[in-house]
Amino acid sequence: MAGEKAHHERCEGHGHAHSPHSDVAAMIERARAFAAARKLPFTEMRARVLTVLAREEKPLTAYEITDRLSVSKKVQAVQVYRGLDFLQEAGCVHRLASKASYFACDHEHHPGEAVVFMVCSHCGTVQEAPSDLVAQGLQGAAEHAGFKPAHPIVELEGECARCSETKAA
Amino acid sequence: MAGEKAHHERCEGHGHAHSPHSDVAAMIERARAFAAARKLPFTEMRARVLTVLAREEKPLTAYEITDRLSVSKKVQAVQVYRGLDFLQEAGCVHRLASKASYFACDHEHHPGEAVVFMVCSHCGTVQEAPSDLVAQGLQGAAEHAGFKPAHPIVELEGECARCSETKAA
DNA sequence: CAGTGAAGTGTAATAGTATTACACCACGGC
DNA sequence: GCCGTGGTGTAATACTATTACACTTCACTG
Ligand SMILES: [Zn+2]
Ligand SMILES: [Zn+2]
Ligand SMILES: [Zn+2]
Ligand SMILES: [Zn+2]
C-alpha cells in the first residue's frame, strides 16, 4: 500500500489520462497471465474487448464496444458483458459507475488501496490515481460506523489539465 | 467544513443508517424551504416522491418509487425522475451510482465536503458520513494531476454493523 | 384584465444499459 | 470415450432514463 508519492512515480510515462494506451500488448499480456493463473482460457472475445478499450482514450459503454466489434463480425452485447466481467476480475478494466462505461487500466492495484477516477466533464477522459488519504478516510468512516468495508468506488468529476489549458488559451 | 468529529456529533440521533426517517415532516419542510428560496413551487408530486423515500429504509430505484406511488394513483417513471431531479438539487435525495437508486438524506451538506455512502451488500441500507480525510485526499489527487475537481462520488460497499452482529450471533 | 412566459403535468414513445435462458461447442481429466 | 467445467452464439427480456408534445397553472406586466 505504497504512499501517494511512491505510487505516482510508478505511474510515470503514463502521461495524460489513460490515453490510447502505448502498450496494448502489455495489457493483453497481463490479462493472459491472470487467466493462466486461474487456469481459465484467455479467449478471442476477451482479447478483442480489451483491445478495443485499450486503444480508446475515453471510457466506452458496453454497446459502444459492441458496435466497434461488430464492424468486423457481428457480436451481441451479452458477449461484451461477459468479456467485461472477466476483464474486471482480472483488474484490466474498470467500470465508471457515474457513466455506466468501461475503460482499460494499466496499473497494478493492491487490496485496501483507494483509487480515484478523475473524469473530465469536458473531454470525457479518465485519469486514475491512488490516494492513501482517501483510503484512510474511508477506513476511518467505516470504523466509526462499525462498517466492514469491502470495495470502494471513488469518482471525481471535474476538468482535466488539458481542457483547462485549452480554455485558458 | 467542520472536522470529522464535529460533523459526527451533528449527526447523532440519526442512529442506524438512514432508517425509516424519524422525521419525514422535517425533510419535507427542508425541501419546501429550498423551493421557496428559489421561488419554485413545492408540488404534490415532489412531496410524494420524497415521502416515499423518507419512509423507506433502503434506496429505491425510480421504478420502485413509481410502483409505490402508482398504488394510489397511476404515475409514470418520467414524473418520478422529474421529482428526483428537483429533490437532488435540493439536497434532500442522493443517487447511489453503484446501484442506480435513490435515497433520502436528512443531513446538511456543505460545498467541498466529501460524503461517503456506505452501502451494506447484505441488507442494502446506506449510511452516510462526511470525511475530511477523503476530501483532502481528493483535493490532493486532483492538485497533483492539475485536475479541477467539481463533484465527487464516494461509495463504499461492505457490511453494516447490524448485519455483522446478526451473523456473529 | 388580457397577454406573455416560466415551470409543471400527463401521456406516449423511445433510447440506453444489463441480464436470463438455452442449445451447442471446446477441452482437459479420468 | 465420457463427463464436467467453462465459453459461445442467439434470442428474448428486464431494467434505467430521456425526449417530445399538448395542455395547465400561475405570476408578472402592460
Ligand atoms: Zn486501475
Ligand atoms: Zn478534459
Ligand atoms: Zn446526504
Ligand atoms: Zn446490513
Mean pLDDT by 10 residues, chain A (169 residues): 42 48 88 96 98 97 98 97 98 98 96 97 97 98 98 98 86
Chain segment B99-129, per-residue pLDDT in tens: 999 999 999 999 999 999 999 999 999 999 9
Q: What is the average per-residue pLDDT within B121-140?
A: 97
Q: Are B125 and B17 in contact (CB under 8 A)?
A: yes
**Mean pLDDT score across all residues of chain A:** 90
Nearest-CA distance from B29 to chain A in Å?
Answer: 28
Q: Please report the pLDDT score of residue A132 as a whole number.
A: 98
**pLDDT interval class at B19 (50, 70, 90):** low
pTM of the model: 0.89
Alpha helices in B56-111 (DSSP H): 62-72, 77-90
- pLDDT > 90 fraction of chain B, expressed in percent and rounded: 83
Chain segment B35-91, per-residue pLDDT in tens: 999 999 999 999 999 999 999 999 999 999 999 999 999 999 999 999 999 999 999
CATH number belonging to the domain at A24-104, selected among 1.10.10.10, 3.40.50.1820, 1.20.950.20, 1.10.3720.10: 1.10.10.10
CATH number belonging to the domain at A115-168, selected among 3.30.1490.190, 1.10.357.10, 3.40.50.300, 3.20.20.60: 3.30.1490.190
Reading the block at residue B99, the C-alpha cell is 446501484
Footprint of strand D on the protein (CB under 7 A): A 40-41, 43-46, 74-79, 82-83, 86; B 41, 61-64, 76-78, 81, 95, 100-101
Alpha-carbon distance B161 to B34, whole Å? 34
Q: Are B94 and B130 in contact (CB under 8 A)?
A: no
Q: Do domains A24-104 and A115-168 have the same CATH topology?
A: no
Q: Please report the pLDDT score of residue B2 as a whole number.
A: 37
Q: Please report the pLDDT score of residue B168 as a whole number.
A: 72
Chain segment A125-161, per-residue pLDDT in tens: 999 999 999 999 999 999 999 999 999 999 999 999 9
**Domain spans, chain A:** 24-104, 115-168
Give the residue from chain B lying closest to A112, CA to CA.
Answer: B156
Alpha-carbon distance A30 to A24, whole Å? 10
